[in-house]
Structure 1
């Protein structure tokens, strides 16, 4: 491969990883979202269960969940009318690698 092709591929990988890392850190910057991650780390939760844990409306908790979904930190599945949130622990690997570099 030529230098130009490798350079473009590398730059794309770096930019993509930075975007992903930015999304994860942005999602975890909010204490409510960090608590949601903590809660679903031990057990899958429905959106209703999460809303009750925070004394929030379903609309408010749904906004937090969407941010976590966009960052890839959780997956939401639907069974009938029930929305279930599950942690996606693999998404934290890029954060861990980035932080480990600075240890």
Structure 2
């Protein structure tokens, strides 16, 4: 996790009440692709080396929905796909993201 943008005297959110937890914006269909040695294409820019499982992002998917459906933490998802950014603004439809490492 990168905190270089953290500024003094600026409020940040550090958690949500259970009722306010993010909800999937669309039904996430599992489209995990186990690695057969070949990396599928196209992939999210900056994906971690050594990715062993991939997910094809669908239109309407969100970072929380993908990580929840794939059984990984949101922190892992962001760590393996840094170009997605921690606000999920870099997530692109029709591009593979990493959902598991070897």
Q: Report TM bin, short chain.
A: 0.3 to 0.5
Structure number with bigger Rg: 1
Q: Which has the higher contact order (CA 8 A, sep 6+)?
A: 2
Higher helix fraction (1 or 2): 1
TM-score by length of 2: 0.34
